[in-house]
């Protein structure tokens, strides 16, 4: 039997047709599908404007650049995330300050964020770990008195709400990823959302090499009709029309994707409720998560063993994530293990069970049975001579 993955895309014949239509047309990159995708996405963000970019890492790089992050600035990041939340700011010369996560949601702890914020803090980045929103109101309160911007890395949480407000409208700037395991996919893709028009304008410009095409903003507008100029450096992080067409088609299925994920989460919650040796993900009363991961905690130091047993049984469990400050690139800069104990002890227990819209009930039952069997199995000891 093939290994069940921990996450995978769902691509329909409508998606294939939407892409093929663009391929038969005149424009493969920047064209009407980009504007259309951005407008469709903005319907999900409670009015925040969106800029499509080439992936979620690019979205973070664009967002930090648009926020004005430069050498000497500090950026506060929780360690329980994918490395890109931190590395994209480090590339701009920022000093990353890791702040620990909360015990239940494993999102940025507002008290830890407050303690980590200084006069040099340019951005505080929250991550909606597993699809559960961070506590944005508490983070705002924790940041009062600081000029720092609040960033939401919403790679896991498009479609989620916090106290009834949609992800995308909760922070000064929000980033999305459309990698195949995420809620919707464009193969590679991402977006930046912001209610701040100036920040969004800077984001669009950074995404497009920094080119200034608006005549009224140019230093030498009379150069000629061909003229474009660069005032600040940028990169080519554009998402092509071909992929934006896929994104628009995927967005039409997002409600169904999220509904199926919620159904699978409810089935896991029920089936695993009485299982000894694990803890299940917690949902706060103020959040309506969009579950991207189903992160359980394997107790009694058995995570490595259960990971191995599940893999051998053909269940592609995953671990999300190694604490970011443990990566050698941060260790070499002097970051130490032990500095974020909540994230670090969570990491030692964490295991993501398969969760994706096309996971069948029967395959989910296989996961549930395999987990029960793995936990009942007692590690074999060498026989004493």
**At its nearest, how many Å lie between ligand PLP and the CB of residue 107?**
11
The 287-288 sheet, strands edge to edge:
165-166, 161-162, 287-288
CB contact set of 69 (below 8 Å; sequence gap of 6+): 75, 89, 92, 93, 94, 122, 123
Q: State which residue, 206 or 212, has the beta carbon closest to ligand PLP.
A: 206
- Cα(370)–Cα(90) distance, integer angstroms: 41
**At its nearest, how many Å lie between ligand PLP and the CB of residue 171?**
14
Among 84, 143, 148, 245, binds ligand PLP (CB under 6 A): 84
| Residues 185-224 within binding reach of ligand PLP (CB under 6 A) | 190
**CB under 6 A: which stretch of 33-41, 52-60, 113-121, 239-247 binds ligand PLP?**
52-60
Q: State which residue, 19 or 59, has the beta carbon closest to ligand PLP.
A: 59
DSSP 158: T
Among 55, 105, 169, 186, binds ligand PLP (CB under 6 A): 55
| Residues 97-136 within binding reach of ligand PLP (CB under 6 A) | 127
- Cα(324)–Cα(337) distance, integer angstroms: 10
For CA atoms 323, 327, 333, 335, the dihedral sign is positive
Q: State which residue, 105 or 309, has the beta carbon closest to ligand PLP.
A: 105
Among 6, 34, 51, 57, binds ligand PLP (CB under 6 A): 57
**At its nearest, how many Å lie between ligand PLP and the CB of residue 110?**
19
Q: State which residue, 86 or 245, has the beta carbon closest to ligand PLP.
A: 86
Q: State which residue, 108 or 272, has the beta carbon closest to ligand PLP.
A: 108
- Cα(285)–Cα(316) distance, integer angstroms: 31
**At its nearest, how many Å lie between ligand PLP and the CB of residue 58?**
7
Closest CA to 353 of 332, 328, 370, 330: 370
For CA atoms 158, 159, 162, 168, the dihedral sign is positive
| Residues 132-191 within binding reach of ligand PLP (CB under 6 A) | 153, 155-156, 177, 179, 190
Q: State which residue, 81 or 350, has the beta carbon closest to ligand PLP.
A: 81
**CB under 6 A: which stretch of 54-62, 143-151, 283-291, 371-379 binds ligand PLP?**
54-62
* Surface-to-core class of residue 95, CB atoms within 10 Å of its CB (0-12 exposed, 13-18 middle, 19+ buried): middle
**At its nearest, how many Å lie between ligand PLP and the CB of residue 381?**
39
Binding status of residue 81 toward ligand PLP by CB under 6 A: yes
**At its nearest, how many Å lie between ligand PLP and the CB of residue 348?**
20
Binding status of residue 291 toward ligand PLP by CB under 6 A: no
Contact between 157 and 128 (Cβ < 8 Å): yes
- Cα(209)–Cα(164) distance, integer angstroms: 37
Q: H helices of the chain, where?
A: 13-23, 32-42, 56-66, 84-90, 110-116, 136-142, 197-207, 241-251, 254-272, 303-312, 328-331, 341-349, 361-376
Q: State which residue, 55 or 309, has the beta carbon closest to ligand PLP.
A: 55
Among 6, 64, 82, 98, binds ligand PLP (CB under 6 A): 82
Applying CB under 6 A, the site for ligand PLP has a residue count of: 14
Q: State which residue, 82 or 268, has the beta carbon closest to ligand PLP.
A: 82
Distance from first CA to last CA of the chain, Å, rounded?
Answer: 39
What is each CA distance from 373 to 279, 280, 332, in whole angstroms? Answer: 16, 17, 41
Q: State which residue, 296 or 375, has the beta carbon closest to ligand PLP.
A: 296
Nearest residue to ligand PLP by CB is: 56
Contact between 355 and 182 (Cβ < 8 Å): no
Contact between 64 and 92 (Cβ < 8 Å): yes
Q: Under DSSP, is residue 36 helix (H, G, I), strand (E, B) or coil?
A: helix
The footprint of ligand PLP (CB under 6 A) covers 55-57, 81-82, 84-85, 127, 153, 155-156, 177, 179, 190
């Amino acid at each position: 039997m093939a290994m069940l993955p921990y996450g995978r895309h769902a691509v329909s014949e409508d998606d294939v047709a939407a892409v093929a239509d663009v391929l038969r047309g005149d424009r493969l990159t920047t064209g009407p599908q980009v504007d259309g995708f951005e407008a469709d996405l903005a319907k999900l963000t409670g009015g925040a404007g969106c800029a499509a970019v080439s992936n979620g890492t690019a979205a973070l790089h664009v967002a930090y650049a648009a926020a004005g992050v430069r050498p000497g600035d500090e950026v506060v990041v929780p360690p329980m995330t994918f490395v890109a939340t931190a590395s994209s700011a480090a590339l701009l010369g920022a000093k990353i300050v890791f702040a620990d996560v909360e015990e239940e949601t494993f999102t940025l702890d507002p008290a830890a964020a407050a303690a980590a914020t200084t006069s040099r803090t340019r951005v505080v980045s929250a991550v909606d770990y597993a699809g559960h929103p961070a506590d944005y109101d508490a983070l705002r309160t924790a940041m009062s008195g600081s000029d720092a911007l609040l960033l939401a890395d919403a790679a896991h949480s498009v479609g989620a709400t916090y106290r009834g407000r949609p992800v995308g409208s909760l922070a000064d700037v929000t980033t999305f990823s459309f990698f195949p395991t995420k809620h919707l996919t464009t193969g590679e893709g991402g977006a930046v959302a912001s209610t701040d028009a100036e920040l969004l304008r800077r984001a669009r410009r950074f995404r497009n090499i920094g080119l200034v095409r608006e005549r009224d903003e140019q230093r030498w507008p009379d150069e000629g009709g061909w003229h474009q100029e660069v005032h600040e450096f940028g990169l080519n992080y554009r998402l092509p029309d071909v992929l934006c067409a896929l994104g628009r088609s995927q967005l039409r299925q997002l409600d169904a994707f999220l509904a199926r994920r919620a159904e699978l989460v409810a089935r896991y919650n029920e089936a695993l409720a009485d299982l000894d040796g694990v803890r299940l993900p917690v949902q706060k009363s103020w959040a309506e998560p969009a579950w991207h991961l189903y992160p359980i905690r394997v107790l009694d130091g058995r995570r490595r063993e259960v990971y191995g047993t599940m893999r051998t049984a053909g269940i592609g469990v995953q671990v999300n994530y190694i604490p970011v400050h443990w990566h050698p690139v941060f260790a070499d800069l002097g970051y130490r293990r032990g500095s974020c104990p909540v994230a670090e002890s969570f990491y030692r227990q964490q295991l993501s069970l398969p969760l994706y819209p096309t996971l069948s009930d029967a395959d989910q039952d296989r996961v549930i049975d395999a987990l029960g069997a793995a936990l009942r199995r007692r590690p074999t000891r060498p026989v004493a001579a």
